[in-house]
Amino acid sequence: MRNFCKLGILALFLLPLIAACSYLPTAGSASPAGVIVTDTRGSIELRPASVPQADSGLIFIPGGFVDPAAYIEALAPLARAGYPVLIRKVPANLAVLDPQGADRLRQAIPEISTWAIGGHSLGGVMAASLIGEKPQNFQALILMASYPAAPSDLSAWEGSVLSIAAEFDGLTKAEDIDAGRPRLPDDSQYSLISGGCHAYFGSYGPQDGDGIPSISREEQQAQVAALIIDILSNL
């Protein structure tokens, strides 16, 4: 018990240091046009400002050590199209420290009857893991530069899956995504962003180890948003 308490105290000191190493947003932290942005304790909510709200929405888990605000710009087009988005906040910007938190977010907008869950990199791994534990709570999985880890076998899951990769991603390799294919349903949709990179799924600047993109961040994010909107519109 004494050792457990010591670990807890150590964690309290280490979490701020870990958070300080996070990738912070370089753009899109202010309210984008046509979107109502609400900063809550558990998430950053993006809701449509000028169109009716749809019956389906997206819960999104950021990549490891990436500030959730770094995804506002990339996901704002979903809200402008009517689909609310909840960008999950996690301790120290590391989703593995609160693996069940994303599921609790469904209660934030009770009028939404159909939920997709997704994430970037480590966030996608955690989203797939959550579906493995609670498959009935979500109707779609969105993977950005991500794949299900070995314990998460979703091959028999009846939901929709969209896996988006980037051509010059230096962190999530094509072989990593291919290795995860047997753990996803046979009808999963795979899309490659030509010229894209790992960091351009968000707006947080260059990332160590990433490749060099040949398209703009805005172009990559526009393509990604269009793919996700297509999935949400068919739920």
The total number of residues written for the chain in this structure: 235
Greatest Cα-to-Cα distance within the chain, rounded to the nearest angstrom: 55
Distance of alpha carbon 92 from alpha carbon 22, whole angstroms:
8
Write phi, then psi, for 94 (nearest 5 degrees).
-135, 105
For residue 148 the two structure tokens come to 């299900």
Q: Give pLDDT tens digits for 8-36.
A: 333 333 334 334 346 878 865 567 899 99
Does pTM surpass 0.95? no
* Greater model confidence, 10 or 53: 53
What's the pLDDT score for residue 29? 53
Q: Give pLDDT tens digits for 61-94.
A: 999 999 999 999 999 999 999 999 999 998 877 7
Q: Is the pLDDT of residue 190 over 50?
A: yes
SS3 category, 151: coil
